[in-house]
Amino acid sequence: MDCIETDAHGSSAGYWPPDRLDALARSLLSDERYDHSLRSADTAVDLCARYGLDAERGRVLGITHDVCKEFPRAEQERLAAGHWETLPPYMLTEGRFLHGPAAAVYLAKLGAVRDAELLDAITWHTTGRPDMGDLGLALYAADKLEPGRSSWRDGLRARLDAGEFDGPSGLRSLAAAVAALTMDYVASQGWPIAPGTLVLYNALTGEDLGSWPAR
Ligand SMILES: [Fe+2]
Ligand SMILES: [Fe+2]
């Protein structure tokens, strides 16, 4: 897709200034969803500071990741169908996941976000996937851990605050813990688990099918 480029900070940061992105999100989202985006941005900034990542890029991800969440389903499907990557079918047919790829396409076409790493993080923020970059992991975790989210994450937030996920592999451990908690919750509700989340968990923990105990 020719509107995507990976350009360095300086002459162009690969995205609009955060204030302009904030105004875009404000114009597209309900109060509730906009507030979630701001809390996700603050959490992403905290995680970027903790793990040595660019905090402004984390803020951009938090502000923009859900900009298409309240678009009509047909519009989300139309946008996602134009994604430059060959996405697995569940990403294009399951309503909960559509808004990630839809937002990436929407933001890229608008020129609001042009950086390939940021667009990849936005595409996959709901389910995660293996081989996510650190910013993608930070958004994945921030979206699930922001303080407005339900209380079943409180224990994990406390472990983060207590330093359990400090250190060079901390972000990967944190994302694995988020994936595990998410899978537990989803299964407890009787819902299907997104393939991307299962594969992300296995990739982050180094587990493979051969290590499973026989039962
Ligand atoms: Fe989302
Ligand atoms: Fe979100």
Give residues whose Cβ lies within 5 Å of ion ligand 1.
66
pLDDT of residue 2: 38
Q: Quote the ligand 1 centre to 123 CA distance (angstroms).
A: 9
Ligand at minimal distance from the CA of 139 is: 2
Give residues whose Cβ lies within 5 Å of ion ligand 2.
66, 143
Tell me which CATH homologous superfamily contains domain 18-206.
Hypothetical protein af1432 (1.10.3210.10)
Q: Quote the ligand 1 centre to 175 CA distance (angstroms).
A: 16
Please state, in angstroms and rounded to a whole number, the distance separating the CA atoms of residues 189 and 81.
29
Q: Quote the ligand 2 centre to 66 CA distance (angstroms).
A: 5
Please state, in angstroms and rounded to a whole number, the distance separating the CA atoms of residues 105 and 80.
7
Chain-centre distance for alpha carbon 79: 18
Residue 113, classed as helix, strand or coil, is strand
Q: Quote the ligand 2 centre to 212 CA distance (angstroms).
A: 32
Q: Quote the ligand 2 centre to 69 CA distance (angstroms).
A: 8
Contact (CB, 8 A) for 61 and 135: yes
Q: Quote the ligand 1 centre to 211 CA distance (angstroms).
A: 32
pLDDT of 142-194, one tens digit each? 999 999 988 888 899 999 999 999 998 999 999 999 999 999 999 999 998 98
- The verdict on pTM exceeding 0.75 is yes
From 152, 3, 10, 205, select the one nearest 84 (Cα to Cα). Answer: 3
CA dihedral 104, 14, 171, 51 (to 10 degrees): -160
DSSP state of 194: P
Q: Quote the ligand 1 centre to 155 CA distance (angstroms).
A: 22
Q: Quote the ligand 2 centre to 27 CA distance (angstroms).
A: 16
Q: Quote the ligand 1 centre to 66 CA distance (angstroms).
A: 5
Helices 195-205, 170-188: crossing angle, 10 deg rounding = 140
pLDDT of residue 73: 96
Confidence band (pLDDT; 50, 70, 90) for 6? very low
pLDDT of residue 12: 66
Residue 95: pLDDT above 90? no
Helices 55-64, 116-123: crossing angle, 10 deg rounding = 40
Residue 8: pLDDT above 50? no
* Helix/strand/coil percentages in the chain, nearest 5: 65, 0, 35
- Count CB atoms within 10 A of the CB of residue 84: 16
Q: Quote the ligand 1 centre to 9 CA distance (angstroms).
A: 26
